Amino acid sequence: MLMKQALLEKATLALKMLGRPSLLSKLIIVADYMKKAQKATQSPLELNDWVSYVTSLYNEYKTKLGI
């Protein structure tokens, strides 16, 4: 029962988002960049490379969103 309710809530949210295409596209971009950031190295030895990578991701993200 809870699973059906959760699925219904997600479907309702998705339908509401269809009415806001700009918000939906921004959320898709956010999700994409979150995945990229999660894949970044987490080794302390590569901290400088990580900082450069995350900075470039952030700048690219701002450009895509027009911030």
> What are the start-end ranges of the H helices in 19-46?
21-39
Q: Which amino acid is at 57?
A: L
Question: Is residue 8 domain-resident?
Answer: no
Question: Is residue 1 domain-resident?
Answer: no
Domain interval for residue 44: 21-67
Domain count, the chain: 1
Q: Give the pLDDT of residue 55.
A: 92
Question: Is residue 53 domain-resident?
Answer: yes
Nearest one of 57, 62, 49 to 33, comparing CA atoms: 57
Sign of the four-CA dihedral 43, 44, 48, 50: positive
Q: What is the pLDDT of residues 4-60, one digit of tens each?
A: 778 888 888 877 767 666 777 888 888 998 888 888 777 878 888 888 988 999 999
Q: What's the CA gap between 39 and 23, in Å, rounded?
A: 25
